[in-house]
Amino acid sequence: MGVGGCLVVPWRCLVVLCLRLLFLVPAGVPVRSGDATFPKAMDNVTVRQGESATLRCTVDERVTRVAWLNRSTILYAGNDKWSIDNRVVIVSNTNTQYSIRIHNVDVYDEGPYTCSVQTDNHPKTSRVHLIVQVPPQIINISSDITVNEGSSVTLMCLAFGRPEPTVTWRHVSGKGGGFVSEDEYLEISGITRDQSGEYECSAVNDVAAPDIRRVKVTVNYPPYISNAKNTGVSVGQKGILRCEASAVPLAEFQWFKEETRLANGLDGVRIENKGRMSTLTFFNVSEKDYGNYTCVATNKLGNTNASIILYGPGAVHDGSNAASRAMACLWLSGTLLAHFLIKF
């Protein structure tokens, strides 16, 4: 309070001056500890943000005047409140204890508090330190992201708390699940399709339950056909050719016979595309339906195709028989070669 303030309310200035002289508290200078055994304040007080903190000071009948200060600011002098903060209230002022309470504690309340007493014309002080803990809170995190396979990805997760929380990244879905990084930033170079899925950021400081958030990473990649088998069916029966393709985004399918693209509903066939699977259905197979069909899967990153054969009973179209035919061909070629060498 300046000189002008004293001219307006000289009685208040006088009281503050008396208190400072009484407790030897120079303006702007923290109170120095006096007798370590009296008055006796409690040990350091630790509370969570939002809770109430009670500061107690043990006194006896020798005490004539008491006050609580926050650094050099007087909070209470006896029963008189000097703090303008309505969260600060007096709890007790007896011959044995002088206590105040701070409701809804915040981080700016942290720091030293001094209990100052007057006894036998000798001021004495005792200090207690208020520690405010703050539960972990994620204050900024990356949004869901979509990238192409092979790209570099950086995920960010910023957290606040007291004490400072530990931030951990974990891959919780996909084939690459379990990847862990203890850092606010998770960097992935040359991301693969197996590294797609959800990534979980956890902020922990043991004050309260961890704060957990998730980020979804979608990895685009071109199609590849994972299932396409030749199919045998008799004339007059129903036949189905299946083509399954993995891709992100999902692939679009087309069917061809030789060089001709097939249309749904024409020539007695039906084409159905559902998710990763495309089917070509023949409701009444005829001789002209037998032959080689091509399934083409396409998305914005590329395309791929597979050849699928629709054949009738007795036809040979599996890989093992093809291998047998190849061996027979080699045997026949060797026999003819031997016969040629013997003759000449």
Please list, in sequence order, all residues whose beta carbon lies within 8 angstroms of the beta carbon of residue 12, skipping any fewer than 6 positions away.
1, 5
Both 76 and 31 in one domain: the answer is yes
Cα separation, 134 vs 131, in Å, equals 10
- What is the tens place of the pLDDT at every residue in 188-235? 999 999 999 999 999 999 899 999 999 999 999 999 999 999 999 999
Give residue 14's Cα distance to chain centre: 58
DSSP code, position 19:
H
pLDDT for 60:
87
40: confidence class by pLDDT, cuts 50, 70, 90: low
200-205-208 Cα angle (round to 5) = 90
Give domain status of residue 267, yes or no: yes
* 253 DSSP β-pair partners: 297
What's residue 259's pLDDT?
87
What does residue 123 show for φ and ψ, rounded to 5 degrees?
A: -75, 140
pLDDT tens digits, 53-108: 999 998 888 888 999 999 889 999 999 999 999 999 999 999 899 999 999 999 99
Whether residue 158 is predicted with pLDDT greater than 50 in this model: the reply is: yes
Question: What pLDDT band is residue 17 in, cutting at 50, 70 and 90?
Answer: very low
What percent of the chain is modeled with pLDDT above 90? 66
Residue 275 lies in a domain: yes
Q: What's the CA gap between 92 and 85, in Å, rounded?
A: 18
Domain boundaries, position 120: 21-134
On the question of pLDDT at 171 being above 60, the answer is yes
Among the candidates 104, 134, 164, a domain finishes at: 134
Q: Does residue 201 form part of some domain?
A: yes
Domain final residue, candidates 221, 239, 259: 221
With a cut of 70, say whether residue 162 has pLDDT above it: yes
Q: Report the CATH number at residue 234.
A: 2.60.40.10
In the chain, the percentage of residues whose pLDDT exceeds 70 is 77
Answer yes or no: do 101 and 194 share one domain.
Answer: no
More confident residue, 120 or 50: 50
Q: Report the range of poorest mean pLDDT among 190-199, 250-259, 266-275, 291-300.
A: 266-275
Query: What's the CA gap between 160 and 141, in Å, rounded?
Result: 12
Q: Report the domain count for the chain.
A: 3
104 with 54, same domain: the answer is yes
Identify the CA nearest to 168 among candidates 179, 176, 152, 154.
179
Domain finish residue from 221, 246, 276: 221
For residues 2 and 228, the model is more confident at 228
For residue 199, the tally of other CB atoms under 10 A from its CB is 27
Interstrand relation of 111-119 and 40-41 (parallel, antiparallel or unpaired): unpaired
What pLDDT, on the 0 to 100 scale, is given for residue 135? 95
238 in the same domain as 201: no
Global pTM reads: 0.70
- Is position 15 within any domain? no
Average pLDDT across the chain, whole number:
82
Residue 320: the pLDDT is 38
pLDDT per residue as tens digits for the range 94-111: 989 999 999 999 999 999
Q: State residue 36's pLDDT score.
A: 43
In-domain check, residue 148: yes
Q: Which of 130-144, 183-197, 319-333 has the lowest mean pLDDT?
A: 319-333
Q: At 264, is the pLDDT very low, low, confident or very high (cuts 50, 70, 90)? A: confident
Task: For 52-93, give the DSSP string.
Answer: -EEEEEE--TTEEEEEEEETTEEEEETTEE----TTEEEEEE
Three-state secondary structure string covering 220-239: EEEEEEEEECCEECCCCCCE
